[in-house]
């Protein structure tokens, strides 16, 4: 490549850094039995890392890492794959009604764009609760200064298919408790709700407060297929936000299922090795892309680009005279 071309390449990479990368993405991904066995499959881990590092905050479900080795390995690969950001994770205790089957909720997040400010494990022994959940929500609160919402709470839930109606309705109790406890209305509920295909009967929908509360907005379109298998078409995974402020902070039409099979050119069999679910995601509006990273402001960055462009144009002009 000629020197002039190299200069142009470096310049446009710099411009891209100033203007691009401003999306703030929140994701929820059921990893389908993630543990030691899956962590030993290099091709699977490579795809998981690519998916998770697309997100500023990513909820992982069905983490069944009983020996405590698979999750640290995943985090290590994430950090090595994307060194531009500082990744951290916070995990619930192992949850489940039996010792033989337990899961963890895990939030992987970019510490340079989201700051964990609080966490709360919803109890399973509240008066009158009658142990509503198989896997009680592990609630977290983040500060994200560059987003329009600034601070928000995430309530995850992976419902038990045979108890979907009860658990989805009980999530409303969690919502009310968290809003009162932390004095906030900026709450997002997300995860594998199993809210379709026989697990949530139409006749039961009127009994689910998470569906009837008019202050809640279900962002993933109802006809979205969040399953990998071509033989199924079910909208299991969802993202729900509470209140007008959070709704306004969402980029319109950005909520979707991420089809990693198509994105990464996988066969159905290869995709199913990764998970039988697609992750769901949504973008939050960004007001100041540099607010939490300690980098230059947009104005100073643009000034730098202007000065750099003037230098490059002059250099290119001199270069053409000497060629």
Report the b/e string of 31-55 with b at 16+ CB within 10 A: bbebbeebbeeeebbebbbbbbbbb
Average pLDDT over all residues of the chain: 86
Asked if 158 is an active-site residue, the reply is: yes
Catalytic residue among 62, 103, 136, 167: 103
Strand 101-110 to 87-91 pairing: antiparallel
**pLDDT band (50, 70, 90) for residue 312:** very low
Residue 21's nearest CA partner among 150, 146, 153 is 146
**Distance of alpha carbon 165 from alpha carbon 46, whole angstroms:** 35
CA separation, residue 288 to residues 51, 154, 182, 215, 261 (Å): 25, 22, 25, 27, 33
Catalytic residue among 32, 85, 99, 158: 158
Average pLDDT over residues 217-224: 96
More confident site: 308 or 182 = 182
Residue 166's nearest CA partner among 126, 202, 124, 133 is 133
Average pLDDT over residues 36-59: 97
DSSP strand E in 72-149: where? Answer: 87-91, 95-98, 101-110, 115-121, 138-144
Asked if 103 is an active-site residue, the reply is: yes
Topology adopted by domain 24-288:
Deoxyribonuclease I; Chain A (3.60.10)
CATH 3.60.10.10 location in the chain = 24-288
CA separation, residue 189 to residues 42, 157, 193, 210, 265 (Å): 32, 8, 10, 10, 31
Q: What is the model's pTM?
A: 0.83
Residue 317 has pLDDT above 70, yes or no: no
């Amino acid at each position: 490549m000629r020197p002039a071309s190299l200069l142009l390449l470096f310049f446009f990479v710099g411009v891209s850094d100033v203007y691009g990368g401003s999306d703030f993405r929140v994701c929820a991904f059921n990893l389908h039995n993630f543990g030691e066995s899956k962590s030993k499959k290099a091709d699977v881990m490579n795809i998981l890392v690519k998916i998770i590092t697309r997100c500023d905050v990513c909820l992982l479900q069905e983490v069944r890492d009983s020996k405590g080795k698979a999750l640290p390995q995943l985090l290590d690969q994430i950090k090595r794959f994307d060194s531009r950001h500082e990744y951290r994770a916070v995990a619930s205790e192992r949850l489940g009604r039996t010792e033989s089957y337990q899961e963890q909720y895990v939030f992987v997040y970019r510490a340079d764009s989201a700051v964990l400010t609080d966490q709360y494990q919803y109890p399973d022994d509240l008066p009158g609760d009658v142990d509503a959940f198989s896997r009680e929500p592990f609630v977290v609160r983040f500060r994200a200064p560059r987003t329009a919402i600034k601070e928000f709470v995430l309530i995850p839930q992976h419902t038990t298919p045979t108890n979907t109606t009860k658990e989805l309705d009980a999530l409303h109790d969690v919502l009310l408790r968290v809003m009162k406890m932390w004095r906030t209305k900026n709450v997002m509920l997300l995860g594998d709700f199993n809210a379709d295909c026989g697990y949530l009967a139409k006749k039961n929908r009127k009994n689910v407060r998470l569906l009837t509360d008019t202050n809640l907005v279900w962002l993933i379109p109802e006809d979205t297929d969040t399953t990998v298998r071509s033989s199924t078409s079910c909208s299991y995974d969802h993202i729900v936000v509470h209140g007008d402020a959070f709704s306004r902070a969402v980029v319109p039409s950005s909520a979707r299922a991420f089809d990693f099979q198509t994105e990464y050119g996988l066969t159905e069999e290869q995709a199913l090795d990764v998970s039988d679910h697609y992750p769901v995601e949504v973008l939050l509006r960004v007001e100041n892309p540099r607010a939490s990273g300690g980098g230059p402001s947009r104005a100073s960055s643009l000034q730098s680009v202007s000065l750099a462009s003037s230098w490059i144009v002059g250099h290119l002009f001199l270069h053409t005279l000497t060629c």
